[in-house]
Structure 1
């Protein structure tokens, strides 16, 4: 998956994930969370892309971002 696609999907996924997890974050942090989540989700759920197509990439990115937010909330401070 091209890096540019991960960045675009990651930005959208970060926005969705921060809203689902009720996490207040700045725009830059939201995009960063989404990009990191897209990378994590892209690596973990890469095989789903082959089976179900691009839709799985968005699902993986959202799940990865949510996992990252969960770790952040659990271990901050």
Structure 2
């Protein structure tokens, strides 16, 4: 039977920076935070992300959690 183990967890915040009329696309800025506790709940990460977003000048667009999992 395979065993999963979370190796690393990363929190990614995506902010809306504006709109590029030439390319007709939205512009986003991403900030990534490494060494996140692997046992942190999604609710806790969302609460922290929303609190950190209040310190930014750009509006928060998305919050992502990226886990790297080793399978043994």
- Same fold, TM-score > 0.5, yes or no: no
- Going by fraction, where is helix more abundant, 1 or 2? 1
**Structure (1 or 2) with the greater strand fraction:** 2
Q: Which has the larger radius of gyration?
A: 2
Structure scoring higher RCO (CA < 8 A, sep ≥ 6) equals 2
